[in-house]
Amino acid sequence: MARFLHLSDVHLGFDRYDNAERTKDFFFAFKDALEKYAIAESVDFVIIAGDLFEHRQILPATLNQAQIGLELLQKANIPVLAIEGNHDNLPYGTRTSWLRYLADSELLILLEPNAEQAYDLWTPETRQGGYIDLPCDVRVIGSRWYGASAPKAILQLADSIQHLPDPPTYQIMLFHHGLEGQISRYSGALKYDELRPLKEAGIDYLALGHIHKQYTAEGWIFNPGSTEANSIAEGQDQNPRGVYLVALEKGEIQAQLKRDYYQRPIVRLKLKVNKRQTQEEVEEAAEKKVSEEIYRIKEAIVELRIEGQLGFNRLDINVRKLRQRLHEQSQALIFLLKYEVTGTEYESPFPKGGEPPQREEIEQQVFEDLLSANTRYQPQAEPLSKGLRVLKQQVLDSEHPSVLYRFVEQLLTDE
């Protein structure tokens, strides 16, 4: 029996939120998953199906994180087999990469086909090659990041696999690409029939990466998802993902998705508002919502989505200041405020036919519509609109500002 751990999309050096603590989360997730499900489980080997790093060019701290995790496996005599992904593949115009650096440092085995998409046996002397036969009766085959040319590359790789020496009992292939139908709004995913040639070439376990959710297909295609969430939409509740602890025995594959390791909690909240609420009431409702959830959002990544129809101009709320206030209140690591509301607009129709309305009538109706769209002024829209017409005339008559202020004060007091 052979046992191994399948990871993908580790994304060390993730910096999308410009938050140092969030960047560390990806290292902690990687390290904890290795300790719990590779070292503690005494697996025969570990595979990383692309995107160990978030970027092709990395900071020293990110390289150090990778080295720490890989050195743990090295001390446990667990080999690591990896391929490049779209985030950390060979930079254009260069001849090396940070994955190659780690391979030359004997911390992992980077499996790559040659320039003709053919496979050479990996050797410890050169630390290069496209496949390796392990003592546990498993052959592991690598690949590169192919992007849009993946369907054509698969045909070439499948042909090359068929020309390899007779394989051990199991053949595993690492491939960084997505399968069609797994997530929406993703163009370029491969159809199942485009992957089928690899099965026909003798692949027993296709270890995928690239899509950040867990899925399997037809009993031989496995994608664990990212080790840590790359966005608010990748929380475990909506998007199960993790690492696969796999056992190969008697021609069968037993792949268990493991998720019980360090991950930053993600909490998504929703607040429904209506046009009867004032601006102050909406902001108070947001603060109350955060207060009610404070027990589970401290130090988490939090999203509050405000939805509905407002009874005032949606721009009256300073979203930036409200987000800052809620962030401080929540004590969350990251607080995202999604302000997806619509304002209320009135447009009174004028009767068709006959004489067109007088200018004064049009002005009166415009003022009344504007006031009716605001919850605060809606009940007094008609008298206030008449007052605004008077105020307009006073401005045109060049009344002194003190007179205008007294008039407005009286108008609002009478309200």
Residue in this structure with the two tokens 């090359």, named with its chain if needed: 160
Higher pLDDT, 295 or 305: 305
Mean pLDDT over 134-143 rounds to 97
Amino acid at the residue 258: K
Q: What pLDDT sits at residue 372?
A: 66
100-117 pLDDT, tens digit per residue, is 999 999 999 999 999 888
Confidence check: pLDDT of 346 > 60: no
Amino acid at the residue 97: S
In contact, 224 and 6? CB cutoff 8 Å: yes
Angle at the Cα of 293 (from 287 to 295), degrees rounded to 5?
125
Domain positions in the chain: 2-258, 266-343, 359-412
220-273 pLDDT, tens digit per residue, is 999 999 999 999 989 888 889 999 999 999 889 999 999 999 999 999 999 999
**β-pair type (221-223, 205-209):** parallel
d(CA 104, CA 123): 12
| 3-class DSSP string for the chain | CEEEEEECCCCECCCCCCCHHHHHHHHHHHHHHHHHHHHCCCCCEEEEECCCECCCCCCHHHHHHHHHHHHHHHHCCCCEEEECCCCCCCCCCCCCCHHHHHHHCCCCEECCCCCCCCCCECECCCCECCEEEECCCEEEECCCCCHHHHHHHHHHHHHHHHCCCCCCCEEEEEEECCECCCCCCCCCCECHHHHHHHHHCCCCEEEEECCCCCEEECCCEEECCCCCCCCHHHCCCCCCCCEEEEEEECCEEEEEEECCCCCCCEEEEEEEECCCCCHHHHHHHHHHHHHHCHHHHCCCEEEEEEEEECCCCHHHCCHHHHHHHHHHHHCCCEEEEEEEEECCCCCCCCCCCCCCCCHHHHHHHHHHHHHHCCCCCHHHHHHHHHHHHHHHHHHHCCCCHHHHHHHHHHHHHHC
Q: What pLDDT sits at residue 348?
A: 57
In contact, 297 and 263? CB cutoff 8 Å: no
Higher pLDDT, 377 or 74: 74
Residues in the chain: 415
The CATH number assigned to the domain with range 2-258 reads: 3.60.21.10
pLDDT tier for residue 390 given thresholds of 50, 70 and 90: confident
Q: How many CB atoms lie within 10 A of CB 36?
A: 17
d(CA 84, CA 55): 11
User: What tokens does 396 get?
Assistant: 């045109």
